[in-house]
Amino acid sequence: MTVTISIAWIEGRNLLHLLDEFLGLVEGPRDGADPALLRLAPVAYPGDDAAASEFRRGTESELFDRRRSDAIVMRDDLHEFDADDEDSRDMLTPHEVEVPPGHIDPWLRTLTAIRLVVASRLGVVSDDHHDADDPRFHVYDWLGYRLEDLIQRADAVDAADENPTG
């Protein structure tokens, strides 16, 4: 069943911007020193450089292809926020976005991946490792909120599907 989420126009626009930046990262060159890319494709065998390198060679391309595909699915679902008429819109008015059942996992994986990228850029290693009052962390926290909201809504839809009578 489709999950419906409510996103203000400004949130949708910002999410599209984050998706475009994320797509640029996963489609771009793989700089082995970029902490964001390392966070998206962590070392599988930390104690064995040869095995880690072999594993990365065999899986990295497929992993980044899936991340790209997932982000495109999400971006397509947010197409209404790509309109050029934002001057005539109330930026805080919520808009209902429908996420089809087959798109929930790509959304969850993409929101998580973007949050990992933001965390790596900010140096966050755990949720309690940041200052919620520092405005640089607001995007990180907002992505966590959106991720949690989508999980709760998907769980509610699943529960309703499993028990349609009440």
Q: Distance between CA atoms of 52 and 33, rounded to whole angstroms?
A: 15
What sign has the CA pseudo-torsion 5, 8, 9, 12?
negative
In what helix (H) or strand (E) does residue 69 lie, and over which residues does it extend?
A: helix 49-77
Highest mean pLDDT among 47-51, 68-72, 137-141, 161-165: 68-72
Q: Distance between CA atoms of 38 and 117, rounded to whole angstroms?
A: 9
pLDDT 10s digits, 62-105: 999 999 999 999 999 999 898 776 665 688 888 999 999 999 99
Highest mean pLDDT among 96-100, 134-138, 162-166: 96-100
DSSP annotation of 131:
-
Q: Are the C-beta atoms of 3 and 157 separated by less than 8 Å?
A: yes
Residue ranges of domains in the chain: 3-162
Torsion (CA) 102, 106, 107, 112 in degrees, nearest 10: 150
Tell which wins on pLDDT, 85 or 19.
19
